[in-house]
A and B are shown apart, each in its own frame.
Chain A
Amino acid sequence: MQVEQFLEQSAERYPDKVALICGTERLTYVTIEARCNQLANTLLSGGLNRWDRVAIYMENSPETAFGIFAALKAGGVFLVVNATTKVDKLTYILNNCRASVLITTQKKLNEIREAWVQTPYLQTVIVAGTDDLSTIDPIDKKMISLEQAFATASAERPARRCIDIDLAALIYTSGSTGKPKGVMVTHLNIVSAATSITTYLENTPEDVIINLLPLAFDYGLYQLLMAFKMGATLVLERGFAYAFVLIETMLREKVTGLPLVPTISSILLQMDLRKYQFPQLRYISNTAAALPTEHIRQLRASFPHVKIFSMYGLTECKRVSYLPPDQLDIRPRSVGRGMPNEEVYIVDDVGKRLGPGETGELVVRGANVMKGYWELPDETSKMLRDGGFPWPEKVLHTGDLFTNDAEGYLYWMGRKDDIIKTRGEKVSPKEVEDAIYAMPQISDAAVVGVPDEVLGSAIKAFVTVKPGATLTERDVLRHCKERLEDFMIPKFVEIRESMPKTGTGKISKRALALNMEGSE
Chain B
Amino acid sequence: MQPLEAQLKQFVIDNFLFGNQNGFKNDHSFLERGIIDSTGMLELICHLEKTYQIKVQDSELVPDNLDSVNRLAAFVLRKQAAETMGASASAS
A binds B: yes
- A interface residues with partner B (beta carbon < 8 Å): 83-84, 238-245, 247, 263-264, 267, 270-272, 275, 474-475, 477-478, 481-482, 486
Contact yes or no, B20 A482, CB < 8 A = yes
Query: Which listed residue (A241, A243, A272, A474) contacts B19, Cβ 8 A?
Result: A474
CB-based A-B contact count at 8 angstroms? 61
- B interface residues with partner A (beta carbon < 8 Å): 14, 17-20, 30-31, 34, 36-42, 58-63, 66-67
Contact yes or no, A241 B58, CB < 8 A = no
Query: Which listed residue (B17, B30, B39, B59) contacts A481, Cβ 8 A?
Result: B17
Contact yes or no, B42 A244, CB < 8 A = no
Instruction: Kindly list chain B residues whose C-beta atoms are within 8 Å of the C-beta of A84.
Output: 34
Chain A binding surface SS class: helix
A220 CB to nearest chain B CB (Å): 14
| With A267-B42, A270-B42, A272-B58: A241-B17 Cβ-Cβ less than 8 Å | no
| With A267-B42, A474-B19, A482-B20: A245-B31 Cβ-Cβ less than 8 Å | no
Please, which residue of chain A has its CB at the minimum distance from the CB of B18? A478
Instruction: Kindly list chain B residues whose C-beta atoms are within 8 Å of the C-beta of A238.
Output: 31
Instruction: Kindly list chain A residues whose C-beta atoms are within 8 Å of the C-beta of B61.
Output: 242-245, 271
B45 CB to nearest chain A CB (Å): 8
In the bound assembly, the distance between CA atoms of A403 and B66 in angstroms comes to 45
In the bound assembly, the distance between CA atoms of A339 and B23 in angstroms comes to 49
Contact yes or no, A242 B62, CB < 8 A = yes
Query: Which listed residue (B17, B38, B66) contacts A267, Cβ 8 A?
Result: B38
B17 CB to nearest chain A CB (Å): 7
A77 CB to nearest chain B CB (Å): 27
Please, which residue of chain A has its CB at the minimum distance from the CB of B58? A271
B33 CB to nearest chain A CB (Å): 10
A216 CB to nearest chain B CB (Å): 14
Instruction: Kindly list chain A residues whose C-beta atoms are within 8 Å of the C-beta of B19.
Output: 474-475, 478
| With A245-B62, A271-B58, A272-B58: A240-B18 Cβ-Cβ less than 8 Å | no
Instruction: Kindly list chain A residues whose C-beta atoms are within 8 Å of the C-beta of B34.
Output: 83-84, 486
Query: Which listed residue (A241, A243, A247, A267) contacts B30, Cβ 8 A?
Result: A241
Instruction: Kindly list chain B residues whose C-beta atoms are within 8 Å of the C-beta of A475.
Output: 18-19
- Sample of 7 more A-B contacts, CB < 8 Å, known A238-B31, A243-B41, A243-B58: A84-B34, A240-B38, A245-B62, A247-B58, A270-B42, A478-B17, A478-B19
